Amino acid sequence: MSQVIEQLKQYANKIVDTGLVVGAGGNLSMRDGNIMYLSPSGFDLKEIEDHQWVRVHIETGEVLDDLKPSSEILMHLECFRKRPDITAVLHAHPSYSVGVSSTGQTIPPLFPDYPAMVKSVAYLEYMIPTTHVLADAVAEVIEENDVVVMRNHGVLTVGKTMKEAFFFMQLVEESAKVFTISRTVGNPRILTDEEVEDLRNLSSEKYRQKLLKDAK
């Protein structure tokens, strides 16, 4: 089994086990040279067999296998085209992030790891999933952001590795969860711009990498 398939399988399981998607929701892909391996349409992510990951030519968009790829194929392709530095794209529908996004609010920095690790987040208004419109909107912001929150829909993350994309997804969802809890209890104190700046300076790449290494 190739390393790419092995990683896709591992993280497809993790995404479901950590509750980031339910049923056949969510999709993930990895780059291998000019080829993108994408989850097939309509499958429970835990039930995809090794040969069922659909190969797609990144430049032409040609589907190289018989199985139907995820209907979010356009979004995944745009990420790989716009970001030569990444190898993994993850899209999920995590409850707290979707909930917070539906109110039109952004997910604020309430604890250090989030702003230290995630440099910037793009927020998109609601657009019909699987369309060119959504894929184009993602293409417009993905060069500057590793995380895209789609209102009333879900979250997309990209990473140099799938581990990184998954960690970004977890951090965003954890932040949305903490925000929801804090709003239930009272009025949260949000980390100030200065505090965020300090964190990023002191954190530097070392801190970031350490967190990433420790991430399960």
Q: Which is nearer to Zn ion, 155 or 178 (CB)?
A: 155
Rounded Cα distance between 172 and 66, Å, is 35
The burial class, CB within 10 Å (0-12 / 13-18 / 19+), for 142 is: buried
Number of residues that bind Zn ion (CB under 5 A): 2
Q: Give the residue with the Cβ less far from Zn ion, 108 or 154.
A: 154
- Tell me how far, at minimum, the Cβ of 58 lies from Zn ion, in Å: 20
Q: Is 40 in the site for Zn ion (CB under 5 A)?
A: no
Q: Cβ 17 to Zn ion, closest distance in Å?
A: 19
- 94 lies in the binding site for Zn ion (CB under 5 A): no
Choose the stretch contacting Zn ion; rule: CB under 5 A; options: 39-47, 76-84, 150-158, 171-179.
150-158
Task: Please say which residue, 110 or 149, places its beta carbon nearer to Zn ion.
Answer: 149
Position 154 contacts Zn ion (CB under 5 A):
yes
Give 118's contacts (C-beta < 8 A, 6+ positions apart). Answer: 146, 147, 168, 171, 172
Pick the piece of the chain touching Zn ion (CB under 5 A) from 76-84, 111-119, 123-131, 193-201: 123-131
Rounded least distance, CB 203 to Zn ion, Å: 31
Q: Please, which residue, 93 or 200, has the CB nearer to Zn ion? A: 93
From the list 13-21, 110-118, 129-137, 155-163, the region that binds Zn ion by CB under 5 A is 129-137
DSSP class of residue 159 equals E
Per-residue x/- marks for Zn ion, 49-68, CB under 5 A?
--------------------
Residue 46 tokens, joined:
């835990």
Segment 72-75 long-range contacts (CB within 8 Å, at least 24 positions apart): 72/27, 72/129, 72/130, 72/135, 73/38, 74/130, 74/131, 74/132, 74/134, 74/135, 75/134, 75/135, 75/138, 75/156
Q: Which residues bind Zn ion (CB under 5 A)?
A: 129, 154
